[in-house]
Structure 1
Amino acid sequence: MFVDSHCHLNFPELASQLPQIRQAMAAAQVDRALCICTTMEEFPAVHGLATAYDNFWATVGVHPDTEDMAEPSVQDLLERAVLPRVVAIGETGLDYYGMEDRKGGRSIADLEWQRERFRTHIRAARACGKPLVIHTRSASGDTLAILREEGEDGAGNRAGGVFHCFTETAEVARAALDLGYYISFSGIITFKNAQDLRDVAAFVPMDRLLIETDSPYLAPVPYRGKTNNPSYVPFVAQQIAAIRGLPVQEVARATSRNFERLFLQGGAA
């Protein structure tokens, strides 16, 4: 019934518990999950999950905040994108959050390598016709600008994709929707201080909405602070159902259809 559109099941804290997690998923009626790649080095493990289990799929990409790892070319991404059960490019995007603390005091201008990496992923996605999984944090202006510059303007012949773990404003959501992208919400929308984000979740059309855990991070209430896993994604659906005054089954059906349309049927909105 439910689909977790973004999780990291290859990360050690989840990989070591995979049989138990799969049992918990089944009990929670979470019948599918998309396993997200964050480095080229981890791609074999992520792809291995997708080929070992018929209800898992994989992406290929390098997270925008990753340094000192293999830098992919368009060709590197394309070679992996054609492998069985690889359905998207990413996660990719821009992350400018806490530059002074996390990036040795560098400025936004010093992060040109992130912007070039993002362009590489967009070009690969457009070349292979698979959607982008986009991470943007404290960088929405540049994220949207680069998408437009690379041809992702909402017109035909584009990659499309999803802004995952959305935490931006309604204005950013509207701009992403105008470009033809989906919006995915995580357990953050269950947090007490996330009313602004709940307001955005109320605004996004049901046919452009996805749910995710981003596990092992961001466990929803009532598990906040614990290790997250895909069996908790129904709590995200329940919050959206409460926001919109809908039965949770309707949210499950809509988000599952959206997942299929975006990732399994090869079509952006």
Structure 2
Amino acid sequence: MRQDPLGNQGRPRRRRGGGGGLRVLVLLGLAVYGGCYYFGNRTVDPYTGEKVLIDRSLDAEDEKALGLEAYRQILAQERPVAADAQVAQQIRGIAQRLIARVDAVETALAAEHGRPPGHFSRSFDWEVTVLQSEQANAFCLPGGKIAVYTGLVPVARNADAMAVVMGHEIAHALLRHGAQRMAQQKLSGIGQMVGAAGGMDAQQQELLMSAFGYGYLLPYARSHEVQADEVGLMLAAAACFDPRQAVPLWERMSAASGGQAPPEFASTHPNPGTRIQNLQALMPKAMAYRQRFCESAQPR
């Protein structure tokens, strides 16, 4: 009889392997959950006609609350320009013209894709603040909270170019890109759980998420920028601004950045050259929108 080192002579040894079966069940369960989440939360965006991933439990009021919370945090850290300052009044005037055309542009773009407009943004509480900063930047949070940094003014140079930037930022909120990113993050979290349950160590999980980022998340983020460029350009054109100012604007934006942008494949944004080419290709459509919605406006 074989002597057991621990003195368990003659006792039959239990086979191990039950843990492997449990792991398979966990993996299967997570995979099914991920698939159900992905396919159960797909919807068609009226602006682009594309299927996008947005958590169905997130409604307009939820987005407004998230946007308002972020907006208050930013305003607590930044220095707003006085509401009666000339630059603040000018930027609010640009925003008002853009916002007034949101419904019309959504309806027109949705019709191009054979879709009804959703008018998700009708419940937005629009608000515009100008922030004192050297940053050449602007943003629009979910729910319609807009901020423009004074550093953008000398780069934009004119109301038409400022409208292109602000239209782009407003388009991110209209397209619900923030909600899409939240859904992506949830899906990424499920993927990480699958990797951990499958026995991947931390380094392997990091490599997997890096590949997922370069192969899916970054291209998806760049597609958001392309979408916002198009919707924002149509919005500016429909609001009777000159969309042709978009090209020199982005040339100036590129110069202002000093050419320090990362390679396109590693960035959330298209490189300036790609962006300008896309805008040039969109220009006939934008000019048609300008003529359609501003019949009395003459190209400058």
Q: TM-score range by the shorter chain?
A: under 0.3
TM-score (norm 2): 0.24
Whichever structure has more helix as a proportion of its residues is 2
Whichever structure has more strand as a proportion of its residues is 1
TM-score (norm 1): 0.26
The higher-RCO structure (CA 8 Å, 6+ apart) is 1
